[in-house]
């Protein structure tokens, strides 16, 4: 498998379909494509070994006010 070719083809497909993405790198063995679409966020990692890992996050549809900032900090701080 040609990981670079697969990654480039996928990015071209996103661009052709006007889907926003951002590239990032959080693991030594992969490049991540972060995709934001209405109500969802996808993390797609193209791995050195040719595999692809996909994680999808779905919105519950609730919009929170500024009071939620402290809740987030309280729940996720060390």
Residue that is written with structure tokens 């497909």 in the block: 13
Q: Distances from the Cα of 33 to the Cαs of 4, 30, 64, in angstroms?
A: 13, 10, 27
CA 30 distance to own-chain centroid: 13
16-26 confidence digits (pLDDT tens)? 999 999 999 99
CATH of the domain at 29: 3.30.160
The confidence band for 78, taking pLDDT boundaries of 50, 70 and 90, is: confident
> Which pLDDT value is given to residue 1?
60
Q: What is the pLDDT of residues 31-74, one digit of tens each?
A: 999 999 999 999 999 999 999 999 999 998 899 999 999 999 99
The number of folded domains in the chain is 1
Domain that residue 30 falls in: 3-76
Query: What is d(CA 71, CA 54) in angstroms, rounded to the nearest whole number?
Result: 28
Q: How many CB atoms lie within 10 A of CB 52?
A: 15
pLDDT score, position 61: 87
């Amino acid at each position: 498998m040609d990981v670079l070719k697969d990654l480039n083809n996928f990015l071209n497909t996103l661009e052709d379909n006007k889907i926003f993405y951002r590239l990032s790198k959080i693991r030594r063995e992969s490049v991540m494509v972060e995709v934001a679409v209405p109500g969802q966020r996808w993390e797609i990692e193209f791995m050195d070994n040719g595999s692809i890992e996909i994680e999808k996050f779905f919105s519950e549809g609730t919009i929170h006010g500024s009071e939620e900032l402290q809740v987030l900090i309280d729940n996720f701080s060390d």
